[in-house]
């Protein structure tokens, strides 16, 4: 029997939250849907011209540091604005835990690349 105290952090309120159904789903038109807080939201397709609408500072950060997760997230947020994503969908993403929001936006960008290819 060990007498060493546990180093595990105590559970926090967010640890007890029910995970939302965030499994992202592609739409036939190349757009994307996700569910958050019991409601379904849509993200538009990322057209070929979308990258050109993103402010250059985000593109530069990503090109200079392609493995930087923060640069990738900043580029994704700028892309949401560039494609005119519904403000309610963006607010829903912002209400989610980071891990879930990253899963959704990563799926959205990935699906848009597949649709465009």
User: Where are the domains positioned within the chain?
Assistant: 20-116
Nearest CA to 73 among 88, 49, 94? Answer: 94
d(C-alpha 83, C-alpha 9), whole Å: 40
Average of per-residue pLDDT across 97-101: 91
What pLDDT does residue 47 have?
A: 80
Sign of CA dihedral 19, 15, 13, 102: negative
pLDDT > 60? residue 10:
no
Cβ 103 vs Cβ 22: under 8 Å: yes
7 CB-near residues (< 8 Å, 6+ apart) = none
Span 33-84, pLDDT tens digits: 899 989 999 998 888 788 889 999 998 998 999 898 888 889 999 999 999 9
**Higher confidence at residue 14 or residue 82?**
82
d(C-alpha 113, C-alpha 69), whole Å: 19
Q: What percent of the chain has pLDDT over 90?
A: 38
């Amino acid at each position: 029997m060990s007498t060493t105290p546990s180093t595990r952090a105590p559970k926090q309120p967010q640890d007890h939250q029910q995970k939302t159904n965030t499994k992202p789903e592609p739409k036939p038109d190349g757009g994307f849907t996700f569910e958050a807080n019991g409601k379904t939201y849509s993200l538009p397709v990322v057209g070929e011209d979308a990258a050109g609408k993103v402010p250059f500072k985000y593109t530069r950060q990503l090109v200079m540091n392609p493995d930087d997760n923060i640069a990738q997230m900043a580029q994704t947020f700028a892309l949401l604005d560039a494609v005119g994503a519904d403000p309610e969908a963006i607010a829903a993403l912002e209400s989610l835990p980071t891990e879930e929001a990253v899963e959704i936006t990563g799926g959205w960008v990935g699906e848009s690349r597949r649709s465009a290819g």
